[in-house]
């Protein structure tokens, strides 16, 4: 996928769900994965001609794992003229050494988002952009149905009243395969996830389940996504 196509999908989401307002200052959460780096590229390009002026910065929460090198990501941000901030933390130590969590993902996500949001507020941001793509939305629905017994998916835009921040998800229309194509075409400096739980999570199970369903019933993934968009859930109306 070319950058122009990536920005087109992103702009469609911005327009459909009114994700950006005039003079927004948006923090992009950079995990080091392909999704957040593609979002960085897309919003950096769109800010040059989008009708509503907005500013972006990049924030990466360093979880404290050994071998996490953010220098290439920092260099990419400099090339894209996006200020980069690293938040150092001991989240990995707290979860794996102090608490010895057997199911670490939920707590890690909460702590990581808390650190990101706090730094975003300190830097004067009013919005935070997450790089959840179409597959993430679909997988979340399945996880909710299977493990929680109700139909839930995060909306494209969420206001966090305790933090006075708005979370936006501009990649709602992007298939993961398109993000992968963009990653390889533009040689994104993706960092391997050093977490010992990586690849062995409920999220990974849902990803494999979606792939199996779509292989056995072609078009199933798109039909699930259509159900999300027409579900009348809060944020989709």
Residue 27: inside a domain, yes or no? yes
- pLDDT recorded at residue 64: 67
Asked if residue 4 has pLDDT above 80, the reply is yes
Helices of type H across 53-201: 71-79, 91-92, 105-122, 134-147, 176-186
* pTM score, whole prediction: 0.91
Residue 234: inside a domain, yes or no? no
The domain that holds 220 is classified in CATH as: 3.40.50.620
| Pair of tokens at residue 193 | 């996830």
Helix (H, G, I), strand (E, B) or coil at 69: coil
Quote the percentage of the chain above a pLDDT of 70. 94
Instruction: Give the chain's mean pLDDT.
Output: 90
pLDDT, tens only, 64-115: 677 677 889 999 999 999 999 999 887 777 877 777 666 777 777 888 888 9
Residue 69: inside a domain, yes or no? yes
Asked if residue 7 has pLDDT above 90, the reply is yes
Residue 32: inside a domain, yes or no? yes
Please spell the DSSP secondary structure of 198-209, one letter per residue: TT-SHHHHHHHH
Burial of 113 (0-12, 13-18, 19+ CB in 10 A): middle
| Cβ atoms of residues 92 and 62 within 8 Å | no
- pLDDT recorded at residue 136: 95
| Cβ atoms of residues 43 and 130 within 8 Å | no
Residue 235: inside a domain, yes or no? no
Which residue range is the domain that position 175 belongs to?
3-229
Longest CA–CA span in the chain (Å) reads: 49
Q: Based on the structure, what is the number of domains in the chain? A: 1
Residue 59 bridge partners (DSSP): 29, 85
Q: Cα(225)–Cα(169) distance, rounded to whole angstroms?
A: 15
């Amino acid at each position: 996928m070319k950058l122009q196509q990536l920005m087109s999908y992103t702009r469609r989401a911005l327009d459909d769900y009114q994700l950006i307002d005039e003079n927004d200052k948006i923090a992009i959460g950079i995990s080091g994965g392909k999704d957040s780096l593609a979002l960085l590229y897309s919003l950096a390009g769109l800010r040059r001609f989008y009708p509503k002026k907005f500013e972006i910065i990049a924030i990466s929460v360093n979880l404290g794992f050994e071998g996490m090198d953010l220098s290439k990501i920092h260099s990419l941000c400099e090339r894209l003229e996006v200020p980069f901030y690293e938040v150092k933390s001991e989240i990995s130590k707290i979860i794996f050494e102090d608490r010895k969590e057997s199911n670490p993902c939920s707590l890690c996500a909460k702590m990581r988002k808390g650190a990101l949001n706090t730094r975003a507020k300190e830097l004067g941001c009013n919005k935070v952009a997450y790089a959840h793509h179409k597959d993430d939305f679909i997988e979340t629905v399945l996880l909710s149905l299977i493990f929680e017994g109700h139909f839930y998916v995060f909306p494209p835009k969420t206001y966090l009243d305790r933090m006075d921040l708005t979370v936006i998800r501009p990649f709602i229309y992007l298939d993961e395969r398109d993000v992968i194509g963009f990653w390889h075409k533009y040689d994104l400096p993706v960092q391997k996830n050093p977490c010992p739980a990586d690849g062995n999570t409920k999220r990974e199970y849902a990803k494999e389940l979606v792939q199996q369903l779509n292989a056995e019933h072609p078009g199933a993934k798109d039909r699930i996504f259509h159900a999300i968009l027409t579900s009348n859930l809060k944020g989709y109306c």
